[in-house]
């Protein structure tokens, strides 16, 4: 693991959002002895009315952090910045305000923490992120772009995003990509591209059941254990990429099954939540998810197939497998690629009849210790401990070969 560095981490999600690779990598860097400034999402598109709560939360965090120099401390070596910036792209005056008034506040926060010659790690390919990288970079800095999705599918400014991403890839010293498709895209502009799908924290999803008071005393878990079987479960954001029409039809067709959803509500769920056999728990702490997933009979990934999801390998798949659970998913290209390697998932077309048939097959398939152990073994291949060590080895080799002047703080 890298240690003793200053790392500025430009994330595409909030720190308190569903726990993913963004937070996992940042906190591991901090605990390894690096000083990390985690910059929360500066956006890919302009906010909508449905984003009003998120905007208000960001304003509150920003005001709260003013007394501490624009950052809040999460734990030793890990600081979070919640910047106020105008949306990316659009008219030139918007970029000018960001570049000359708002982004310098982030640079000031980094200086207040004493950061110098930082390693700059970004998930965002927007003009805002690119301007921030250029502002923070020094001759001794190194830039890493982690390409995790095709963000051009999330903005009306597709051409502008593709141009800013091209410039970011060209200026990056190292590019990590989630899958082959994204890697091929990045290799058009940079030869130093390495494929690293998101991993899983095996310690957060222990295979063996821990019959301790903390787990047994959870009222929500007891409620879950009392539901009619089978329990069909989903963990993750309840967003527009979930095929809710599909889920509603399936829940109606199998009214005697229990359908459980855990995650932040990011879209209208009224039709789904009105069904008596559907239970929506909302977002839960990451460390508590294992107690719920253990009660699932089948775990599902009912994503819509579109230009954005075709490059996505959901983190939840390895979390489900780590607990030894059978997984049924729609036939997303990245999920199919994953399953071609491991032969561990049940993939299905996104129709109620086919998806229900796949769930029923998973319910009837052997679910003994051998099957559960094999699922866990596949998840273990994506353990963040080994995955991040390999990523760090690439970074260290580049640092050693590329610049003798680069030094630890």
Q: Say if CB 327 and CB 262 are below 8 A apart.
A: no
> Domain 202-380, CATH 3.40.309.10 — does that match?
no
**pLDDT(325) > 50:** yes
Q: Which backbone phi and psi does 323 adopt, to 5 degrees? A: -90, 0
**pLDDT(344) > 70:** yes
Looking at residue 216, its pLDDT comes to 43
pLDDT digits (tens, 9 = 90+) for 97-153: 989 988 999 999 999 999 999 999 999 999 999 999 999 999 999 999 999 999 998
What is the value of pTM for the model shown?
0.90
Domains 6-199+383-402 and 202-380 share a fold: yes
For 297-334, letters b (16+ CB in 10 Å) and e give bbbbbbbbeeebbbbbbbbbbbbbbbbbbbbbbbebbb
Look at 75-79, 102-106, 185-189, 386-390 and tell me which has the smallest mean pLDDT. 102-106
Q: Which backbone phi and psi does 143 adopt, to 5 degrees? A: -115, 130
235, β-bridge pairs = 262
- Where are the domains positioned within the chain? 6-199+383-402, 202-380
* CATH fit for domain 6-199+383-402, picks 3.40.50.2300, 2.60.40.10, 3.40.50.2000, 3.30.1330.10: 3.40.50.2000
- Arithmetic mean of pLDDT over the chain: 90
């Amino acid at each position: 693991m890298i240690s003793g560095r200053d790392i500025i981490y430009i994330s595409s999600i909030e720190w308190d959002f569903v726990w993913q690779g963004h937070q996992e990598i940042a906190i591991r860097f901090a605990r390894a002895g690096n000083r990390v400034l985690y910059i929360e999402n500066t956006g890919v598109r302009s906010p909508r009315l449905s984003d009003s709560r998120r905007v208000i939360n960001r304003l509150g965090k920003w005001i709260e952090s003013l007394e501490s120099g624009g950052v809040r401390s999460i734990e030793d070596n890990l600081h979070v910045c919640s910047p106020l910036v105008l949306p990316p792209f659009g008219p030139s005056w918007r970029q000018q305000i960001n570049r000359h008034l708002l982004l310098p506040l982030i640079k000031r926060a980094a200086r207040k923490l004493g950061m110098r010659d930082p390693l700059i790690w970004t998930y965002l390919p927007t003009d805002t992120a690119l301007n921030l990288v250029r502002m923070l970079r020094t001759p001794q800095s190194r830039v890493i772009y982690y390409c995790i999705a095709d963000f051009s599918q999330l903005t009306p400014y597709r051409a502008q995003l593709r141009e800013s991403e091209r410039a970011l890839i060209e200026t990056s010293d190292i590019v990590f990509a989630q899958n082959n498709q994204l890697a091929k895209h990045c290799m058009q502009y940079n030869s130093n591209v390495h494929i690293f799908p998101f991993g899983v924290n095996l310690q957060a999803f222990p295979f063996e059941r821990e019959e301790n008071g903390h787990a047994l005393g959870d009222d929500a878990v007891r409620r879950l254990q009392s539901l009619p079987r089978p329990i069909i479960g989903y963990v993750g954001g309840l967003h527009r990429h979930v095929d809710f029409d599909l889920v509603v039809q399936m829940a109606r067709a199998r009214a005697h099954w229990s359908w459980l959803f855990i995650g932040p509500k990011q879209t209208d769920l009224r039709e789904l939540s009105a069904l008596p056999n559907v239970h929506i728990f909302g977002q839960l702490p990451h460390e508590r998810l294992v107690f719920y997933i253990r009660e699932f009979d089948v775990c599902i990934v009912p994503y819509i197939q579109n230009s954005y999801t075709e490059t996505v390998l959901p983190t939840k798949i390895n979390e489900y497998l780590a607990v030894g659970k059978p997984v049924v998913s729609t036939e997303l290209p990245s999920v199919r690629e994953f399953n071609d390697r491991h032969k561990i998932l049940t993939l299905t077309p996104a129709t109620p009849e086919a998806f229900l048939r796949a769930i029923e097959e998973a319910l009837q398939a052997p679910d003994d210790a051998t099957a559960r152990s094999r699922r866990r073994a596949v998840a273990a291949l994506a353990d963040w401990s080994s995955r991040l060590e390999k990523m760090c080895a690439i970074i260290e080799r580049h640092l050693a070969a590329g610049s003798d002047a680069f030094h630890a703080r």
